[in-house]
Structure 1
Amino acid sequence: MAFAWSQQAGIELAMLRLDLLDPLISGNKWFKLVHHLLAAQALAAEGVISLGGAHSNHLHALAAAGKRFNFKTVGLLRGNAQDTPTVRDLQAFGMQLHWLGYGGYRERHAAEFWPQWQARYPDFYPVPEGGGGLPGAQGCMALIRLVREQLASLGWSDYDAWWLAAGTGTTAAGLVLGEAGAHPVYAALAVPASHGVAAQVSAILQEAAAPDAHYQLFEASRAGFAKVDPELLSFMHASEAASGVPLEPLYSAKALMALRQQVEAGYFARGSRLVFVHTGGLQGRAAALSQPLQTCSAN
């Protein structure tokens, strides 16, 4: 782990560099997977089955973990068969792939979805999309300890709040659980509201009977998921040049841009110390940047 820090508009920002965690099982993905994998091990499961897209950071980390720790993995993928750098890695790591089409993938929340796959892979442990759910959130509680261990290196005795991107909301929910009201958690939504992040965070906290859920979600999807517009791209490249920290446009750059907007709007008091979580995802950076630029509003 490493911190990068900067100061802007009277705000001190510490960045938790989860992108440096591991070359393959990178970012927040290991933290979301660890309790799921422990549960699979306790059940003596033959392998693990989960879902994601053709550029999925989650499936990439899961497949890499399967290869490294010698367990089988199955991926249920959105859309039709595609040849992407991520898909090639999944195959190289030994993951068995099934392409569901777009309509089939939309059925993943239906009651009859998982039983058919569990009948086909009866000894495989199912992991929700993105490593979500309460087990995923419980794994992310460990991030609080990582930060507190490194505060002294910045000369900080404490911090005021967290800021991070949210794709499923699992990491944010884990921070909320771990903080138990001690520090607020602010999450920038990297996906549209229709993806149901707010409901997923609420469900995790309710299941955990969270004593004090001090958090807030901010719109940051820029009108869609996996869209790279010129303003976002310009901000990302400028931030990388200034800090030397590599970003990717789907999560980390969106979250950092949304934070800048809130700082400039005066949302945080001068002197606030914020912890920004770099959630990784750099394995998908090249593919994301190769997509045609799309002009989209942040409505």
Structure 2
Amino acid sequence: MGPFDWLPHASLEPLQLDWLNGVEVAVLRLDLIDPLISGNKWFKLTGHLAQARQAGATGIISLGGAYSNHLHALAAAGKRFDFPSVGLLRGHPQDTPTVLDLKAFGMQLYWLGYGGYRARHEPDFWLPWRERYPHLHPVPEGGGGMTGALGCGVLVEQVRMQLHTLGWADYDAWWLAAGTGTTLAGLVLAEAGAHPVYGAMAVPDDHGVAQNVRAIVQGGYELLDASRGGFAKVDPQLLAFIDTTGQTSGLPLEPLYTGKALLALKQQIEAGVFAPGTRLIFVHTGGLQGRRGLVD
């Protein structure tokens, strides 16, 4: 496989919204790096692709749901860079827009049901898949783990190189959605204590985000619940916020991750957690493809 030397550059843009109340926010636009391999997913994949190449693998096998941004980016990368990919999906067969894309990109799909998918953390989960696909490299859900986190460290460098475009000498903290906590952990590693990282959890506590992060880093971050009742839980307030934000600022959001994260930031600012003059980096982690058909 590979080599994969594509390293996209994400632009840093100021956010203008009335409710910021003097807090300065710059958005790292990972949603704009590529039409298909979008968001933070490529950065998490780079280390796994390197490991696959070193192991002599010919392709990748991984897991996700019917709207998975991770599988979408992986399948798109497989098509672009000409390597086979296999997706193990949560639940039962359904043709969401994401799933239709996975098929069009050439990813081989297997539906595990819900019980079968919950078994993904069992120590022998990968054994039958390794036997069936001995030449494919297994990648954990969402491209997680230390390998995925290390690939996200470059984002800190990209931000620091662009601060002058904002007229900033420095920033105070990071803010981003957390689905597995991998990107957050990568930012914490790269910051090495220089700036704190806030993770707005888009999933409930029982999804294991805190455990995932603790397995990689110790300190330098804070997690808060932004799940609004559960993963993929969408409510009228959230949808109205996403719509208003898009109309007033031009920033597109989706309801699973970025919408929840920015709404949680609004609530924290209104609660006085961040004083006027605070400078924050908000990571737009992409995922816009996943909103197709979901809101309807």
User: Same fold judged by TM-score > 0.5?
Assistant: yes
Contact 1:6/1:14 (8 A) holds in 2: no
Alignment match of 2:16 (pick from 2, 6, 13): 6
For residues 126-147 of structure 1, give each alpha carbon's deviation from its aligned partner in whole angstroms, at most 9, with x where no partner exists: 0000000001000000100111
Which runs of 5 or more residues in structure 1 are unaligned?
A: 291-299
For residues 127-186 of structure 1, give each alpha carbon's deviation from its aligned partner in whole angstroms, at most 9, with x where no partner exists: 000000001000000100111111100000100000000000000000000000000000
What is the 5 A alignment of 1:44-59? 44-59=56-71
Partner of 1:38: 50
Give the percent of matched residue pairs that are identical in Structure 1 and Structure 2. 66
Contact 1:4/1:16 (8 A) holds in 2: no
Alpha-carbon offset, residue 285 of structure 1: 1.4
Alpha-carbon offset, residue 5 of structure 1: 2.4
Contact 2:88/2:110 (8 A) holds in 1: yes
Partner of 1:243: 249
Alignment match of 1:103 (pick from 107, 115, 128): 115
CA RMSD of aligned residues (A): 0.9
Using the size of structure 2 for normalisation, the TM-score is 0.94
CA distance in 2, matches of 1:70, 1:98: 20
CA distance in 1, matches of 2:180, 2:197: 15
Alpha-carbon offset, residue 284 of structure 1: 1.1
CA distance in 1, matches of 2:116, 2:243: 37
Alpha-carbon offset, residue 270 of structure 1: 2.1
For residues 23-46 of structure 1, give each alpha carbon's deviation from its aligned partner in whole angstroms, at most 9, with x where no partner exists: 000000000000000111111202
Alignment match of 1:66 (pick from 78, 92, 116): 78
For residues 197-232 of structure 1, give each alpha carbon's deviation from its aligned partner in whole angstroms, at most 9, with x where no partner exists: 000000122xxxx6xx21000110000111110010
Alpha-carbon offset, residue 9 of structure 1: 1.5
Partner of 1:276: 282
Contact 1:250/1:288 (8 A) holds in 2: no
What is the 5 A alignment of 1:1-299? 1-2=10-11, 3-6=13-16, 8-205=20-217, 213-290=219-296
Contact 1:228/1:288 (8 A) holds in 2: no
Contact 2:14/2:166 (8 A) holds in 1: no
Using the size of structure 1 for normalisation, the TM-score is 0.93
CA distance in 1, matches of 2:101, 2:129: 23
Which runs of 5 or more residues in structure 2 are unaligned?
A: 1-9
Contact 1:35/1:136 (8 A) holds in 2: yes
Q: Secondary structure at the match of 1:6?
A: coil
Would you identify which runs of 4 or more consecutive aligned residues in structure 1 move more than 6 Å?
none
Alpha-carbon offset, residue 116 of structure 1: 1.4
Letter of the 1:76 counterpart: L
Partner of 1:296: none
